[in-house]
Amino acid sequence: MNYPRTLQWRGDAADGKLVIIDQTRLPGDLVYLDLERLEQVIDAIQRLAVRGAPAIGVAGAYGCVLALREGRGEAGLELLAQARPTAVNLRWAVERVWKEAKSDASRALEAAKRINAEDVAACEAIGRHGAQLIRPGMGVHTHCNAGALATSGMGTALAPMYVAHGNGVKFRVFADETRPLLQGARLTAWELAQAGIDVTVIGDDMAAIVLREKKTQLVITGADRIARNGDTANKVGTYALALAARAHGAPFYIAAPKSTFDTAARNGADVPIEERKESELREWQGALLTPHGARVFNPAFDVTPAELISGYITEDGILSAAEITGWLG
């Protein structure tokens, strides 16, 4: 299947490096960055050069190799784990690498490669399970970017679309632009168009009318953290999209691997919500959009209550909220 590989490790533990697509440059330029130091990985995660919960989990796993190679130990790994607080995959991956490798960089690389391979396999399984929801002629709605750029495989929310397309199913995708950083317009539209999938970009405030007019009959988004009760933190605007889907009778699914489920979070109230810098709303490419006399509120994520979610597309099948706790064990 034709989808971008957003990150890969090249070399061994002693002198290798993490190579990523710089997603801040898309869709205009396809630029690769070589990350050879821990600070470079942290910076890439924080400024969204690499983003998406599974992708930053894998990037964090490889970042552990660099941290241990530099002799940074647990203190360095904690800095890495804190780079973005909402996406649970990052801390999960860092803690897993430390548990499996301790201070051995070579063992850390082996652990990181396992996490990478597991993510690729999970994406493929999510794609197979979710593809059964996509029927010929359907309009499928998504928000932000939960595709190949957000994982080390074919994606989560977009994986069913890749699989359905590969199976010859004809359908159309409507991608919310996703303000303020336009991940839907810049990233989702770019990778779907690269794959030859019919994609239309709409403003976030157009989602409800698209659903009302039945241009889309199914919504699939990704997730950054899912609580045990099914409450889901994802890119801000997901909650509003779920409300619109419920109002207009469209099923709303979350696609995510097991690593995105937080066993310690009882519900959405336990999920920390990252607040981004004001400049993301105040300026665009150097031009002032919001006057300095106005305050800015810029949460990166919101929480969609489980009662608005039709199901969770995971590597082990499509689950209901009631099945999550038993599945997590």
**Known catalytic residue at 15:** no
> pLDDT (tens digit, 9 = 90+) per residue, 58-74?
999 999 999 999 999 88
- Is the model's pLDDT at 285 over the cut of 90? no
- Is residue 175 pLDDT above 80, yes or no? yes
Largest CA distance in the chain: 58
pLDDT of residue 114: 98
Fold of the CATH domain 129-328: Rossmann fold (3.40.50)
**Which residues in the chain are classed under CATH 3.40.50.10470?**
129-328
Q: What is the pLDDT of residues 14-36, one digit of tens each?
A: 999 999 999 999 999 999 999 99
Per residue in 119-138, pLDDT (tens digit) is: 999 999 999 999 999 999 99
Tokens of 188: 């989702």
CATH number of 7-123: 1.20.120.420
CA–CA gap between residue 48 and residue 22 (Å, rounded): 8
Catalytic site residue from 119, 224, 231, 302: 224
**Residue range(s) of every CATH 1.20.120.420 domain in the chain:** 7-123
pLDDT of residue 3: 87
The residues, any chain, with a CB within 8 Å of residue 285's CB and separated by 6 or more, are: none
DSSP alpha helices (H): ranges in 85-104? 88-101
Residue-wise pLDDT tens digits, 144-164: 999 999 999 999 999 999 999
pLDDT above 90: residue 1:
no
